[in-house]
Homo-oligomer: A and B are copies of this chain.
Amino acid sequence: MTSAAQVLAEAEALVRPALRRTIVKLPERERRVAEYHFGWADGSAADEATSGNGGKALRSALVLGAARAVGGDARRAVPGAVAVELVHNFSLLHDDVMDADRMRRHRPAAWVRFGVGAAVLAGDALQILSLQVLTGTGDPALTDVLIDTMADLMRGQSDDLAFESRDDVTAAEYRSMAELKTGALLGGACMLGALLGGSSPERARELGRFGRHLGVAFQCADDILGIWGRADRTGKPVGADVAARKKTLPVITALADASEAGRRLAALYRRPEPPGREECASMTALIEAAGGRAAVEAEGRRQITLALACLDRAEPQKTARADLATIAEWAMHRDR
């Protein structure tokens, strides 16, 4: 059986040269920002540190896997993978500006290094380039999928930012946000891969649903990592989400819990001052005691089950099915 690390490494090996060749088409300044952001310049050490985790190639692996799942040739799906990676990194560049996140992949975020304007323009440039990569294939259906995907991505980011100023976000609302913000692009990746692999629209849609559920599971895992993850793996300070009192899914679930732990957590979340190290530790323990961690782990598993059901409805080719399932498992357990 192939491991997730192998599947992701193979995808990266196939897509990365094409991605690098595409980036070269950018104007020089945006190319420099993009190459830094991708970890190809001024940071070979940092690049190594993250490549073990393979997170960078997830979307590529979905594109190629979906192409093979419908009986197509993975190599023909490479433009789809390039486009999806460009969109993903456009959104990271802009999200870091919007969220004022200073660290990305163990290094200063692009806006910290090059300035807000340069990061915004580099993001814009990657986004347009992603569209040009697909118009270059001559199949307008691909461009349509990417545009709809980006619209959902925007809406998810919009919801995420709007939630920051709300105290009454429900777990269901959060899940819908995650489906747009994280699931849309994973779903789009699968649809593009399927279409480039010669799929019927129906099969492509089932694979798209597989990717959407996978995205919600991925967000569940991300939220768990944001609270309990190891800094050396996540590339962000340990417990960063708790220190920022971010209301991710484990927190929303714990705050809604009618236990003593849930009530104490709510009191700590209402405090105006930034929490100290000890308070962060208390909050982390209370989130777990109020069932926030267990509930989100269960939700992640539920989403993976739903994802695999959609995958099977697409009647996937056997080895591609195994690879996609391996990636799905990895998405839930990528800190291990």
**A residues with CB within 8 A of B:** 27-30, 94, 97-100, 116-118, 120-121, 124-125, 127-129, 131-132, 135, 140, 143-144, 147-148, 150-151, 154-155, 157-159, 161-162
Distance (whole angstroms) from the CB of A158 to the closest CB of chain B:
4
Q: Please measure, in the bound complex, the distance between the C-alpha atom of A118 and the C-alpha atom of B135, giving whole angstroms.
A: 29
Identify the closest chain B residue to A143 (Cβ).
Answer: B143
Q: Is the beta-carbon distance between B128 and A147 smaller than 8 angstroms?
A: yes
Given contacts A98-B120, A131-B147, A147-B135, contact A154 B140 (CB under 8 A): no
Q: Is the beta-carbon distance between B143 and A135 smaller than 8 angstroms?
A: yes
Q: Which chain B positions have C-beta within 8 A of A117?
A: 97-100, 161
Distance (whole angstroms) from the CB of A120 to the closest CB of chain B:
6
Identify the closest chain B residue to A146 (Cβ).
Answer: B131
Q: Is the beta-carbon distance between B124 and A135 smaller than 8 angstroms?
A: no
Q: Is the beta-carbon distance between B124 and A94 smaller than 8 angstroms?
A: yes
Identify the closest chain B residue to A96 (Cβ).
Answer: B117
Q: Which chain B positions have C-beta within 8 A of A98?
A: 116-118, 120-121
Q: Please measure, in the bound complex, the distance between the C-alpha atom of A131 and the C-alpha atom of B148, giving whole angstroms.
A: 9
Q: Please measure, in the bound complex, the distance between the C-alpha atom of A127 and the C-alpha atom of B116, giving whole angstroms.
A: 19
A-B contact pairs, 16 of them (CB 8 A): A27-B154, A94-B120, A94-B121, A94-B124, A98-B117, A99-B117, A117-B161, A118-B161, A120-B120, A125-B154, A128-B151, A129-B151, A131-B150, A132-B147, A132-B148, A140-B140
Q: Which chain B positions have C-beta within 8 A of A151?
A: 128-129, 132
Q: Is the beta-carbon distance between A158 and B128 smaller than 8 angstroms?
A: no
Q: Please measure, in the bound complex, the distance between the C-alpha atom of A227 and the C-alpha atom of B67, giving whole angstroms.
A: 57
The 8 closest A-B pairs by CB, nearest first: A140-B140, A98-B117, A27-B158, A131-B147, A128-B151, A125-B154, A128-B150, A135-B144
Distance (whole angstroms) from the CB of A122 to the closest CB of chain B:
9
Q: Which chain B positions have C-beta within 8 A of A97?
A: 116-117, 120
Centre residue among A99, A128, A144, A155 by max chain B CB count within 10 A: A128
Distance (whole angstroms) from the CB of A133 to the closest CB of chain B:
10
Identify the closest chain B residue to A93 (Cβ).
Answer: B120
Q: Please measure, in the bound complex, the distance between the C-alpha atom of A128 and the C-alpha atom of B116, giving whole angstroms.
A: 21
Q: Which chain B positions have C-beta within 8 A of A94?
A: 120-121, 124
Distance (whole angstroms) from the CB of A140 to the closest CB of chain B:
3
Distance (whole angstroms) from the CB of A125 to the closest CB of chain B:
5
Given contacts A128-B151, A151-B132, contact A162 B121 (CB under 8 A): no
Q: Which chain B positions have C-beta within 8 A of A162?
A: 27-29
Q: Which chain B positions have C-beta within 8 A of A118?
A: 98, 161
Q: Which chain B positions have C-beta within 8 A of A30?
A: 154, 158
Q: Please measure, in the bound complex, the distance between the C-alpha atom of A99 and the C-alpha atom of B120, giving whole angstroms.
A: 11
Identify the closest chain B residue to A159 (Cβ).
Answer: B27
Identify the closest chain B residue to A165 (Cβ).
Answer: B29
Q: Is the beta-carbon distance between A161 and B124 smaller than 8 angstroms?
A: no
Q: Please measure, in the bound complex, the distance between the C-alpha atom of A42 and the C-alpha atom of B188, giving whole angstroms.
A: 38
Q: Please measure, in the bound complex, the distance between the C-alpha atom of A129 and the C-alpha atom of B121, giving whole angstroms.
A: 18
Name 14 extra pairs, CB < 8 A, besides A127-B127, A131-B147, A143-B143. Answer: A27-B155, A29-B158, A30-B158, A94-B121, A94-B124, A97-B116, A97-B120, A98-B116, A117-B161, A125-B154, A131-B150, A132-B147, A132-B148, A143-B147
